[in-house]
Amino acid sequence: MKTILILFLAVCSVSAADIRVVGSSRINIDPVRAWAAKPTGVRPMPSWKRIQVSTVTPAAPWPICAIKIEGAETKTVYLKNLPGSIFNIFLEEDRLTKSVTEKDQWITAETKRLRLAYTHESEWEYGSPNYIQFQRDSANLENQKDTLKELRTQLTACTRNKKLLGADFALFTGQVYAKLEVWDMGQKSQ
């Protein structure tokens, strides 16, 4: 029983390591992670830098990202092996930002239109087609305001998640492609 428990713990500790594949090399970046959590002594693996991804633009052959390196220098680079979760959260943030802008513009225009229509309300009989349409449009405006509020909530959550997911380690590959440095986060491996 002790042997099984020891084997189980050994397997768990091996699978918990942060292994990255860069080129054909498998690299365990746990030492630099541990040092970054408590920076004392000599820094291991100085080529691996802590980065914060702030923008992602889909491009070929790799996404173009604005990254903040070690909390100081900001660069626009190609970023190899950007995890799908980070890429998708930036795309979702972009989609939500556009949706919020479009919805906000629609609400502004519709509010102005309904204010102008309201000036003619005294001419409408209760239950007339114009009165009913005005009531429907007013209700739709309120529904769209609720939708906008929900979109803003989603955008706030997305932005918060982006900050959490966008921080990781990467290294400069020494390559420059189309006048941009090429950095690599390494493909996560088990």
Distance (Å, whole) CA 15 – CA 66: 31
Scanning the structure block, which residue is given the tokens 């209700």?
139
Query: What is the pTM (predicted TM-score) of this model?
Result: 0.71
Position 67 scores a pLDDT of 94
- Mean per-residue pLDDT pooled into runs of 10, the chain (190 residues): 46 67 91 90 92 90 93 91 90 95 97 87 83 92 96 93 84 94 89
- Which token pair is 133? 């349409």
8's CB contacts (< 8 A; 6+ apart) are none
Residue 27 has a CB neighbour count (10 Å cut-off) of 19
Distance (Å, whole) CA 34 – CA 117: 65
